[in-house]
Amino acid sequence: MRRLIRWIGITLLGVVALTVLVHAVIMAQLIWWSRFDPARTSFMELRLEAMQADDPDARLAHRWVPYERISDHLKRAVVAAEDDKFVDHEGFDWEGIQRAIERNQRRGRPAAGGSTISQQLAKNLFLWPGKSYLRKAEEALITLMIESLWSKRRILEVYLNVVEWGDGVFGAEAAARHYYRIPAADLGPAEAARLAVMLPNPRRYEREFGPRLAAHAERVRRRMHRSEIP
């Protein structure tokens, strides 16, 4: 019995030590990325792997551009569509989470998530798609790290440069050139609103941009001038 208890204790200690080490590595990466731009994210790696399973020569469309070379219209549209309290919260929009829970209860299924831009960035940088308590816990912890180590301007800059905007299309510059044949700096209000409303499901909306989504884009366009950006 003592041997079993000792073995369990050693195992738990090992799990704790490994967990601390993993999160120390994540924190070190975030400190590095506060000054240097990430070349690839977890979501990019997963998408590229899936694409190359069908075509070994497949490549992602991605080109990093600095914050100043991304249209303010796109910044405002993304904040209006995804996280209208972005500059005020510390990583979590508790009112938005409560509204999402209520919507999910009415629908009887987990449809609305209520994730902030910071939470979505944490997931994109380090985690994986899907829903689980483990992933949400990791997402929350990494979100706290990001909010502690980065400015809001840096969070929005990295998010706009790494988020998926279509099948193998990542970041604002690649999206602007893919859909409109222009750089991200030249996106106008209507184009920005259309890109912003694609974010919840970009690969689907790349193929199917119907009347309901177009109406949503118009609502975002009308209110995005009120969005505060860093």
| pLDDT at 32 exceeding the cut of 80 | yes
Query: What is the reported pLDDT for 1?
Result: 72
Q: In which region does residue 3 sit, left (phi positive, over 0), alpha (psi from -120 to 50) or beta (all else)?
A: alpha
Output the six-digit token pair for 35.
Answer: 């000054």
pTM over 0.85: yes
96 or 201, which is more confident: 201
Output the six-digit token pair for 84.
Answer: 């209208």
DSSP 94-162: HHHHHHHHHHHHHHTS-------HHHHHHHHHH--SS--HHHHHHHHHHHHHHHHHS-HHHHHHHHHHH
Output the six-digit token pair for 59.
Answer: 């490549």
193 or 110, which is more confident: 193
163 pLDDT band (50/70/90 cuts)? very high
| pLDDT at 218 exceeding the cut of 70 | yes
189 pLDDT band (50/70/90 cuts)? very high
Query: What is the three-class DSSP state of 33?
Result: helix
Q: Rounded to whole angstroms, how far apart are CA atoms 82 and 69?
A: 21
pLDDT tens sequence across 94-132: 876 676 666 655 565 555 557 999 999 999 999 988 888
Output the six-digit token pair for 179.
Answer: 């859909």
Strand order of the sheet with strand 164-166? 61-62, 169-170, 164-166
Query: What is the three-class DSSP state of 45?
Result: helix
Element (H, E) at 174: helix 172-180
Between helix 211-223 and helix 72-82 the angle, nearest 10°, is 110
| Surface-to-core class of residue 118, CB atoms within 10 Å of its CB (0-12 exposed, 13-18 middle, 19+ buried) | buried
